[in-house]
Amino acid sequence: MHSQTAEKVRKALVYIILALLTFLCLFFFYILIINSTRNNFEIQKGFSFLPGGSFGQNLTNVLNDANIPVLSGIWNSLIVSTLSAILATYFSALTAYGLYAYRFRFRKAAFVFILLIMTMPTQVSALGFVNLITSVKLDDSLIPLFLPSIAAPAVFYFMYSYMESNLPMELVEAARMDGSGEFRTFNSIVLPLMKPAIAVQAIFTFVTAWNNYFMPALLISSNDKKTLPILIASLRSADFLKFDMGKVYMLITIAIVPIIIVYILLSRFIVAGVTLGGVKE
């Protein structure tokens, strides 16, 4: 009887903690959405739990602002984030497969080299990267914002760790014995088994690229090629006397919608699963 009571208390505490964490996570989104429905004067008056009546006006102000091309900013961010997620997950999984499925002389050295690159901050190589991009005439272009995602050491390490625990080499060897080429084996056998890992890293890469301000600010100068973080920053740094908090909250709200959609679309793969059709030893 005592043990059952203690178990109920533990469950109640767990649910209370989870409810508190959920509240803290969602509360800031709630504030954001509420403030996107209020005008500048109402926001300056302080916090409110109730929505205002200026959602349509804020949306109209944002979309009609000639200095803030929101639609092109959304499109540019979608291009950069989607291509970054695709390139990072596919080529990182391919690289991890090469180091996992083959035994060659400098395999460990290559693995250590990739991990060392992972420890290097982006800011350290930023100047050299900008000079390189400028010298090949790719500045003020979206290409240098997504193309470097082909080499993503952190994504590679995650893929490699996932392969070690979820990819039996027997499957690869059986495919080879059946005459399957390496690329066909990778695309038709390995990739389907990697769906949970790919989904996780696709979400992380997409969100990172979507929120990236540093590199676009260094490389992009044309207004029609700017991504959403640059547009939000330019709106936030406007003249204080003309500063409209309603527009800022509305633009941030618009910016988080694609992230939520991507998470909803990919989240089922995260918990879905485990290797289908494993091989018993």
Q: Is residue 56 part of a domain?
A: no
CA dist 212 and 207 (Å) reads 8
Q: How far is CA 254 from the centre of its chain?
A: 16
Q: Is residue 2 part of a domain?
A: no
Task: Say if residues 90 and 187 touch (Cβ distance below 8 Å).
Answer: no
Indicate whether 227 belongs to any domain. Answer: yes
- Total domains present in the chain: 1
pLDDT for res 257: 84
Question: How far is residue 159's CA from residue 262's CA, in Å, rounded to a whole number?
Answer: 20
Domain assignment present for residue 42? The answer is no
- Pair 145, 216: CB distance under 8 Å: yes
Indicate whether 52 belongs to any domain.
Answer: no
* Predicted confidence band of residue 62 (pLDDT cuts 50, 70, 90): confident
Closest to 74 (Cα-Cα) out of 246, 201, 265, 261: 261
Domain CATH for 83: 1.10.3720.10
Q: Establish if 55 belongs to a structural domain.
A: no
Quick: pLDDT tens for 79-122.
999 999 999 999 999 999 988 888 888 888 888 888 888 887 77
Q: In the block, which residue shows the tokens 């009546």?
A: 53
CA distance 253 to 49: 17
Q: Are 169 and 68 in contact (CB under 8 A)?
A: no
Verdict on whether the full-model pTM lies above 0.75: yes
Residues 35, 246 contacting (CB under 8 angstroms)? yes
Domain range enclosing 254: 65-272
Segment 4-46, tens digit of pLDDT: 777 788 888 989 998 998 888 888 888 888 988 888 888 888 8
- Examine residue 280 and state whether it is found in any structural domain, yes or no: no
The reported pLDDT for the residue numbered 168 is 83
In a domain, 145, yes or no: yes
